[in-house]
Structure 1
């Protein structure tokens, strides 16, 4: 008599355990470690990851760890995850980035702690405002049904690159307690964060290729070229050098040359080995439809101004007025807001460009052509600056679209949207996006910008002219 087959639920559970077992590190990579133990046998963080929750109700409050040591959470959020070592381990606080959501706090003598900010339980990767994509990726890792290629779509500064790094760190250096969390204190995770490992490659405009005569950084390339994709194909077929797998982050997949896009499609159709491809794109419509269909697409959406201002207050410790001002300028993007906080000149540039866009809404044709000629003349000298200006126009018209649709938007956009309709805002967004695509296609810059100016609606005192 043949043995009874397990039920459907039991069979799925067994398959899930088998898939999860495949995510563990190979036996050759497992190192025997000597654990330093603190009071009451608490394991040290760098020797073996151990999370201890600590909650505070007000700044400066203290939380007791299981060993009875008081840890002062000076400027932490309402909920923090604490790694601690009470035996004075020298590695407890070394090699951990102090920027972004990861902060090292001072502790009493003989006690070191690493505090990692986490907005919610689902978003344990520290990607602020992107709980849904993080949760989907964690479930895929836990279930073993992981895709070979992902497409992260969203505007610049939304957190696409950070999400890609956290995913690579989780796959290569998972936590001992939870394989869906990265062990950020491990050497592999720190190398990925610093970009010093050969197994995690970033393909972007101006990157390297196998052609010795090519210097993409010097020839002012505006697209990712086919020679860079061919190098990706060659390197992806090789075995990993030091880590468990190779990960390729294509930063700016919407900037691929047509030939490079077709070459990448071949790699997506026949993925080599365990290589993982992560495509980052600000404009998914510029990608080939065949590329999008072969990737699992995840859209990273901007936060509302109120939620972003709250995140800047809680995570970055910014004053309420500065947080609200940065939230309006960043248009819902946490990473961009943090960059403007670090570089005030960037915030001034965005503010001046926004004022110019508002002025051009009521300007005549001659004044608009003057702006187009000025930007067109600087295209061959400062292409990135011109593209950034066009992106600011797109962000502003998006705010106007939100205002005309009755959603939350910047106060200035609410004023300018009085004489506009949603159709006018959509027409302006299409004109700006078309101009950006023409600029990247090496067309005449002045002509492309002049056509955009003609398509933008003109706002008069009585309405749209």
Structure 2
């Protein structure tokens, strides 16, 4: 059974060295802020970093890493540390004023049960209503000395300027392909040739890398998508649409297909520009990539990449499925 990522402490974090350094320096120097915003896209590791930071602050060893062995750390790992509070919300797209009042504002005046701090971790913080944010503002402005509030936000700019100005903002950058590939191979035991494809596909997002590494269907989807691109000149548009429906299944699968299409045409563009194979994701398909590069212009490849991205945006906006794919495949055929 694999140990939880939190148990590895900061040493187990992949990438984000600047954020880890900031957190550890704050702990070491005794300059921990009362309010933080950790910004980064979904799956980038915000919650994991916040949890390890909270564990470090509460650890009985008082070091710059959670020891993982003391009573506080053991409780944190089991989800029962009473002074690390995860604020939850009922509605999927909104964090309301009542939830903030009940779980933070009304609770913060009670001193820690057994630790030095009370740490509140608010996931999906950008979904807080303006009323909820204003209710939280007074606590952030005048917190008890033991209170630390950590806001996790996919889009920190969605938070009110008055909130942002009173928090230390730490932004997560994409993890490099090299770090991602090493993580996939050493931690998740993915073979070398698959790790390279998965690392490119994950686009710097560790959560996405884990999802695809643990999906037995992922490489099959990649192979199907590549096969479609190789046959895009001979297949009719309606055949390609039907194939995506059949092979991709659920909506997430369709987005994965489109991301493979983007990687494919990025390879075509890279080969056309450099004639080099080493930097390609799909090295094994060099003959098909070379053939496509010879018939598509730079402008044509750019139009194709734009059409794929537009189709993704349309599907996210619930535009008609068949129409979105038809326009994309027409552009792929025409260019």
Contact kept, 8 Å, 1:427 with 1:455, in 2: the verdict is: no
Greater relative CO (CA pairs within 8 A, separation 6+): 2
For 1:21, the equivalent position in structure 2 comes to none
2:98 aligned with 1:227, yes or no?
yes
Quick check: 1:200 aligned with 2:72? no
Whether the 8 Å contact between 2:60 and 2:72 is mirrored in structure 1 is no
Q: List aligned pairs for 1:156-235, cutoff 5 A.
A: 156-173=42-59, 175=61, 179-206=63-90, 221-231=92-102, 232-235=104-107
Residue 151 of structure 1 pairs with residue 37 of structure 2: yes
Query: Residues 221 and 257 of structure 2 are in contact (CA less than 8 Å); yes or no, is this contact kept in structure 1?
Result: no
Task: Tell me how far apart the structure 1 counterparts of residues 322 and 151 of structure 2 sit (CA, whole Å).
Answer: 32
Q: Any residues of structure 2 matched to 1:2-13 within 5 Å, and which? A: none
Q: Is 1:323 aligned with 2:195?
A: yes
CA distance in 2 between partners of 1:222 and 1:156 (Å)? 14
TM-score w.r.t. the length of structure 2 is 0.69
Aligned partners of 1:173 and 1:188 also within 8 Å: yes
TM-aligned CA distance change 1:448 to 1:251, over 3 Å = farther
- Tell me how far apart the structure 2 counterparts of residues 435 and 258 of structure 1 sit (CA, whole Å): 29
Against the structure 1 CA distance between its residues 305 and 182, is the aligned structure 2 distance closer, same or farther, given a 3 Å change threshold?
A: same
Q: Deviations over 1:158-211 (max 9, x none)?
A: 2111111110011000536xx2121111121122122222321212442xxxxx
Q: Give the SS at the match of 1:230.
A: helix
Cα distance, 1:394 vs structure 2: 10
Which of structures 1 and 2 has the bigger CA Rg? 1
Local SS of the residue matching 1:266: helix
**Closer, same or farther: CA 341–101 of 1 in aligned 2, 3 Å:** farther
- Using the TM superposition, give the Cα deviation of residue 152 of structure 1 relative to its aligned residue in structure 2, in angstroms: 1.3
* Alpha carbons 1:249, 1:278 under 8 Å: kept: yes
Q: How many residues align?
A: 306
* SS of corresponding position for 1:125: helix
Say whether the 8 Å CA contact 2:201–2:259 is kept in structure 1: no
Q: Is the 8 A contact 2:6 2:77 kept in 1?
A: no
Q: 1:321 to 1:247 in 2, by over 3 A?
A: same
Instruction: For structure 1, list consecutive stretches of 5 or more residues without a partner in the other structure.
Output: 1-95, 103-115, 119-123, 207-215, 372-384, 437-444
Q: Which has the higher helix share?
A: 2
Say what the alpha-carbon RMSD is for the aligned residues. 4.7
Task: Tell me the secondary structure at the aligned position of residue 95 of structure 2.
Answer: coil
In 1, Cα distance between the equivalents of 2:180 and 2:120? 30
Unaligned runs of 5+ in 2: 245-249, 274-278
CA distance in 2, matches of 1:229, 1:131: 31
Q: Please state if 1:283 is matched with 2:155.
A: yes
TM-aligned CA distance change 1:252 to 1:410, over 3 Å:
farther
Which residue does the alignment assign to 1:344?
A: 216
